[in-house]
Amino acid sequence: MLFLVYKLTLITVILLVSLGIAMYATLLERKFAGFLQDRYGPDRAGKWGLLQPLADGGKLFFKEEYMPNTADKFLYILGPCLTMLVALLTSAVIPWGPPLVIGGVEYTLQVANLNVGVLYVFAIASMGVWGIMIGGWASNNKYSLMGAIRASSQMISYELAMGLSIAALIMMMGSVSLNEIVAQQQGWHWNVIYQPIGFLIFFICALAETNRHPFDLPECETELIGGYHTEYSSMKLGFYLFAEYINMFVSSAVLATLYFGGYHFPFIGRLGLSPNVAAILGMVILFAKIIGFILLFMWIRWTLPRFRYDQLMRLGWKILLPLALLNLAVTGIFILLKG
Amino acid sequence: MSLTNRSKVVSNKKFSFLESLYLPAIFHGMFITLSHLFKKKTTVRYPEVKRPFSPVYRGLHVLKRDDEGRERCTACGLCAVACPAEAITMVAGERQPGEEKLYREEKYAKVYEINMLRCIFCGFCEEACPKEAIFLTDRLVPSQTEREDFIFGKDKLVEPVDQRVDVSKRQSQKVLDFKKDKNQRHNS
């Protein structure tokens, strides 16, 4: 019973936190874009525009609910729901901090300690394209379909390189459990130091998987007038837009967990803090890393122009894939020589 | 021969290895955007901060009163004739005995309307006015939701006696001299 309550609380908290962070990521994005362009960004709704996300949400709820009459009704509604669901699923396996000890009982800050955590993340991430594909198809609009097709071929092209870069990591770690991977990165042993190329490939692929600039070809405001969500309005559109920010949050969390030591930080073990304080500090550190990654995502978005489609494919198949294979081979040779 | 010294020689040279990686260029670009993060922002936070207007800014019109508070306009119609957008209409009226405190001359404008949607704020009405009655000021025409509300009558155009509108910036000595110059056709 207690177990159930604890898991439910944890799930609720993680859900709310990821929704909250995604919500304020929209504000952060607009603020950040403003500052990079010598503007202030939104600052009218509340102090520093802090109520802007609420206003945006309210606006989306009150927008007219429009559905094209040739659309496939069921799939049309399923699309955004699936996107949102898949975006939220990944956070289940991420270890958010070291275990808390309350009243002699140990509470791990991870909803499901899957022993195949990495594979789960990977499987769910590749599901992400389903919502886009279904939405684009169901809209019965050529631009939407084009965006959806672009999204799916982009996913396929980048997932290979992503998988191979993770494979090299798994070979080094000898485990596919996220908990285990984080535990092995204690102190300075962050994976990014041992796998810089792998990290770079994974990072680029993460940008492509979340449909962020410079790989936002499925959306492409200027070419496809919004791509797969052209025909969507009201909160269905909101779901699509919002899922992108949740995806960004989750991929930042995965990046931080896999390559940047998760909740570990050097010299924290030497401070002599009590385990619970250390656990909370670890959580804060993980969130700082995540927000750092979100900022990096945004920084890239507001710097780089969008790829052309053939350039995107060339980068995926001709550069990242061979590089990832090479990385895999070199890692294998090192492991062989060492042990 | 070049007309300007801004022409650039186009080069199709092959990228070096470092350039073909794009990463240095990307980092350079990201450094540029980062430097903008700390630059002074150009935004003017409008309702709190207002940009200074040019002294000759041409905004909302005002129908001036003279020093004793009498309306200057005599409904001669020169402004309406001068108006290229045909935004001004007026109906003239005769001053009745007892109204000497209200109107300066025997004839006055009963109705004076400017359609702010037609007006192009060229200031020709001001130039044409022989009585120094109409001026364009540095006030803005407020936004409205109905087209009818953009037709400004005397209630909005004539300055209140207790709230005089300052047009001294537009009445420089040069302007006043020009208006009195008998060699100019409009003054004769």
Residue pLDDT, tens place only, B76-97: 999 999 999 999 999 999 988 8
- Chain B CB contacts of A40 below 8 Å: 41, 43, 45
Distance CA B50, CA A331 (A): 62
Domain that holds residue B121: 61-187
C-beta atoms of B26 and A304 within 8 A: yes
- Chain A CB contacts of B35 below 8 Å: none
Count Cα atoms within 13 angstroms, Cβ side, for A198. Answer: 27
SS3 call for A92: helix
Q: What is residue B101's DSSP assignment?
A: T
Query: Which segments of chain B have a pLDDT < 50?
Result: 188
Q: Is residue B162 part of a domain?
A: yes
Both ends of chain A: CA-CA distance in Å?
46
Distance CA A321, CA A159 (A): 10
Name every residue in A having a CB less than 8 A away from some CB of B: 35-40, 43, 299-300, 302-304
Q: Is residue B137 part of a domain?
A: yes
Please give the distance of CA A291 from its chain centroid, rounded to a whole number: 12
Comparing A261 with B84, the larger pLDDT belongs to B84
ipTM over 0.85: no
Q: Of the candidates A133, A122, A126, A120, which has an alpha carbon nearest to the alpha carbon of residue A155?
A: A126
In terms of phi and psi (left: phi > 0; alpha: psi -120 to 50; beta: otherwise), the region of A234 is left
- Chain B CB contacts of A320 below 8 Å: none
- In a mutagenesis test of the B interface, which of A28, A29, A37, A44 is the best target, namely the one with the most B β-carbons within 10 Å? A37
Rg (CA), chain B: 27
Q: Is residue B4 part of a domain?
A: no
Q: Is residue B91 part of a domain?
A: yes
What is the number of structural domains in chain B?
1
C-beta atoms of B33 and A302 within 8 A: yes
Cis, peptide link before residue B52, omega less than 30° from 0: no
- Chain A CB contacts of B36 below 8 Å: 35-38
Does residue A137 carry a pLDDT above 80? yes
Cβ neighbours, 10 Å, residue A185 = 22
Structural element, H or E, at residue A151: helix A142-173
C-beta atoms of B39 and A299 within 8 A: no
pLDDT given for residue B145 in this prediction: 92
* pTM metric for this prediction: 0.78
Distance CA A209, CA A81 (A): 18
Q: Are A212 and A297 in contact (CB under 8 A)?
A: yes
Q: Is the dihedral of CA A313, A192, A169, A293 positive or negative?
A: negative
Where do we find the tokens 């998987």?
A209
CATH number of the domain residue B162 falls in? 3.30.70.3270
When the pLDDT of each residue in chain A is averaged and rounded to a whole number, the result is 84
- Chain A CB contacts of B43 below 8 Å: 38-40
Query: What residue type is assigned to position A222 of the chain?
Result: T
pLDDT given for residue B114 in this prediction: 93
Task: Point out which residues pair with B98 in neighbouring strands.
Answer: none
